[in-house]
Structure 1
Amino acid sequence: MSKAEISEAVDHEDVPRRSWKQDPDGVRANILQVAREAFAQKGLSGTRIDEIAARTSTSKRMIYYYFGDKEGLYLEVLADAYRRTREAEDALELEGLQPEEALRKIAEFTFDNHRRSQDFIRLVMIENVHEARHMPGSVEMSGENSSAIRMLEDIYARGLEAGIFRPGLSAVELHWHISALSYFNVSNRATFSHIFGDELFSEEGQNTLRRHVGDMILRLVLV
């Protein structure tokens, strides 16, 4: 799409939408947020670009300009969702904590963050149905997720040095266990609560499960 076509596409919108011409980053962020909600609700095949455009502050034409096509938008939504999760982890400031305290904090944070970011979990569920066909390249994804691994490597190394963590584990294994314990709480909530009731999904129940996640991870690593 040429610059003239972009201008024409935007100029055909109403006055509030024309103001987005001066804020391309805002346009892009708005599209990603709306698309994230849509894809999490309906998946890739069930979502239509027309529906996304109707809920954004821009046009269908501009969505194609930024992301190419629906699959390109979906791929960027996935990458952005992982990126946001890593950024939240990077803000934890674990360096000054004792190893066991730092490991509990990241485990319990992951439980809470997954609970707050249910769209993220649903996107991951949908992409697993697609056998990770639309995921960004492995190099890009490993780069996005390397900060989480480095964080766990540092905590685990400090715990080994202090003699309180047992040897023989890896940061990737720890990341798997933490993710698994936190993921199920969101991914299987509907079926689990349908069978067993909602008690574990009350505020008290969630606080208990969060503490269990921290306890289990520490029992895995402590000598």
Structure 2
Amino acid sequence: MNQVPLVFLGLVAAVAGSFYGAIFLPHHAVGRAELEYVDDTGAYYPAPRNGLAQQGAEVYRAQGCVECHTQQVRPKTLGSDVARGWGRRRTIAQDYAQDNPVQLGSLRLGPDLTNVGKRQPSSLSNLRHLYNPRLVVKESYMPRYEYLFFKRKLEANEKPSLNALPADTEAGYEVTPKPQALALVAYLQSLSADVPLFSAPLPVAVTNQVKAPSLTQKP
């Protein structure tokens, strides 16, 4: 009797089971972790994202941003992420609680975005960066996302609308963000993982000050 089909099915089942147990299940579980109460802030962490930021997470995924950006700060012993200012501490599973799917990323063609909401809180700067990254970072090789904006040629002496990007964004044109661009920026602004946690405390600032002796200390 030919056992090849059974062997083949067994191999497929083994590979599928390994993938499910080692990759899919842990990845899925991280995004469904419970919120943690943080004494230092008096609030639960991570704070839930508003509706617009939630929509922006879907835009982030649809545009393939996860293919070029990570959202994971490595500890000092494994890289220079902290030294680069990408985060004050390493990221842990708690940072991704309620994120589904978790968009960790695996390749860094651009900077890590774990704390981009703190590094770049300006909506205007983020919108200009999406429309034409070279307007913000001259050396950037990030693609332009012009299709997330409306672009209309201005008539002579016509001024752009109040919700348009600055005139120098595209000379002679009115550039206004589409809902997808606004949602994506709201998501980027929501990215922040610098809350001190028990499992990932913030580093203690080192000073040269000598601690004053206690007034009750006996000689």
TM-score (structure 2 length as normaliser)? 0.26
Normalized per residue, the structure richer in strand is 2
**Which has the higher Rg, Structure 1 or Structure 2?**
2
Normalized per residue, the structure richer in helix is 1
